[in-house]
Amino acid sequence: MREDSPGRANVADTPELEAYYKELEKLEAGALWTVANAIEPWYPQPESVPVLWKYDELRPLVGKAPDLVRPEDAGRRVVMLVNPNRKHLSAAVGLLYTGIQIMNPGERASAHKHAASALRFIMEGSGAYTIVDGEKMTLGARDFVLTPVGTWHEHGVDEDGAQCVWQDGLDIPLMNTLDANFYAVHENLHQDQTVPINSSYAAYSGGWIQPAFLRQNWKKPYSPMLKYPWEPTYEALLKAEKLHEGSPYDGILMEYVNPVTGGPVMPTMGASMQLLRPGQRTKAHRHTGSFVYQVAKGQGYSVINGKRFDWKEKDIFVIPSWAIHEHANLSESDDACLFTFNDLPVMRGLSLYVEEAYTENDGHQVIEN
Ligand code: GTQ
């Protein structure tokens, strides 16, 4: 890929050079100038493309999985969402994985742990639980729960519950790209409950009043609070909406935080919930970082790199790094809420976070489709 620009590689092929490249190849070597412009792009050039997965289309296929495989055999019974350009990585976008897991009442999946960090956002059902390092957490629709790096975790649905569906988010492609992934199955396949049910939420959900005796001993690189329930999340959004204008690009965007540090919930992945007011249309911007969205509430659309993606509750879509994007709430009476998880802790931790407003056309993209 030649570029006619000072400082960029611009070498014409000649028979001598082509012969030279062949000789280098035999020694597992190559001439940098043949690839330099491709491997050092002027700005991020993700292979991932924006994708929207409609829940109405996916749900019937997700619903077939329980007739076809048992969680005992599958390990995890999940339909994963795969970016068409990243199939070899099993990534939804960038180096993030996501999937939809389904479980019937009375079913449970075995306990395991891995270097990958994981999270869930509950979509349907009742009686779901997850056990993380001996703490059982009960889960309902739109609750958000962490299963951080290195923690033993298992999922199930109580006998008297209803079929449950949730979204899993993991940094598996990141761990594999870094060649840092490990995996272990629990020796008993299941954990004993060693602390009271929902105890980390009980301990840390006070916001501005926090247990000193626990905080000072917490040395792990992730949030000690593992469950973030929907009702208080939504209440906080409504409270913020009354008091603040919010961001012109993101509306009322609130981050789920580690209550000890105020930072992201896990070292590699952050998460947020954003509220778009009735009729709100945000301005376009772009930034580094890969984002997986689930529509928690409402209906609207996002314009990503000039393409419009219409969404409603439980649809999942992705925004690749540096893609120009804006959001719109199509309802004039109800708010819309978007759940997101992302790799921002990695971007920020490596000093790679860059953000830029889109300034043409009054801050809105021209929609191509
Ligand atoms: O529950 O830990 O969707 O390890 C994929 C891999 C869920 C999990 C997934 C996993 C998990």
**What's the pLDDT score for residue 85?**
86
pTM over 0.95: yes
CATH superfamily, with its number, for domain 51-363: Jelly Rolls (2.60.120.10)
Digit-coded pLDDT (tens) for 143-170: 999 999 999 999 999 999 999 999 999 9
Is 190 a residue whose pLDDT tops 90? Answer: yes
The residue-averaged pLDDT of 196-210 equals: 96
**What's the pLDDT score for residue 1?**
84
Instruction: Determine the distance separating the centroid of ligand 1 and the alpha carbon of 8, expressed in angstroms.
Output: 43
Is residue 48 within 8 Å of residue 318, measured between CB atoms? yes
Is 304 a residue whose pLDDT tops 90? Answer: yes
Residue matched to tokens 């899993």: 168
Q: Tell me which amino acid residue 61 is.
A: L
How many CB atoms within 10 Å of residue 126? 17
Q: Is 108 in the pocket of ligand 1 (CB under 6 A)?
A: no
Q: Is 78 in the pocket of ligand 1 (CB under 6 A)?
A: yes
**What's the pLDDT score for residue 86?**
86
Helices in the chain by DSSP H: which ranges? Answer: 15-26, 36-39, 55-68, 71-74, 172-177, 199-204, 212-215, 230-243, 344-349
- The domains of the chain are located at 1-42, 51-363
Ligand 1 nearest atom to the CA of residue 168, by list position = 3
Is 369 a residue whose pLDDT tops 80? Answer: no
Helices in 109-262 by DSSP H: which ranges? Answer: 172-177, 199-204, 212-215, 230-243
The residue-averaged pLDDT of 312-327 equals: 98
Is 135 a residue whose pLDDT tops 90? Answer: yes
Q: What confidence tier does 222 reach under pLDDT thresholds 50, 70, 90?
A: very high
Contacts of 301 by beta carbon, 8 Å cutoff, 6+ apart:
308, 309, 310, 311, 327, 328, 330
The residue-averaged pLDDT of 320-337 equals: 98
Digit-coded pLDDT (tens) for 57-107: 999 999 999 999 999 899 999 999 999 988 999 999 999 999 999 999 999
CA 48 to chain centre: 14
Instruction: Determine the distance separating the centroid of ligand 1 and the alpha carbon of 171, expressed in angstroms.
Output: 10
The residue-averaged pLDDT of 273-289 equals: 98
**What's the pLDDT score for residue 5?**
96
Is 336 a residue whose pLDDT tops 80? Answer: yes
Digit-coded pLDDT (tens) for 93-112: 999 999 999 999 999 999 99
| Four-CA torsion 292, 289, 182, 149, nearest 10 degrees | -70
Instruction: Determine the distance separating the centroid of ligand 1 and the alpha carbon of 313, expressed in angstroms.
Output: 23
Q: Is 92 in the pocket of ligand 1 (CB under 6 A)?
A: no
The residue-averaged pLDDT of 299-328 equals: 98
First to last CA, the chain: 30
- Alpha-carbon span 26 to 20, nearest angstrom: 10
Q: What confidence tier does 21 reach under pLDDT thresholds 50, 70, 90?
A: very high
At 8, phi and psi to the nearest 5? Answer: -105, 160
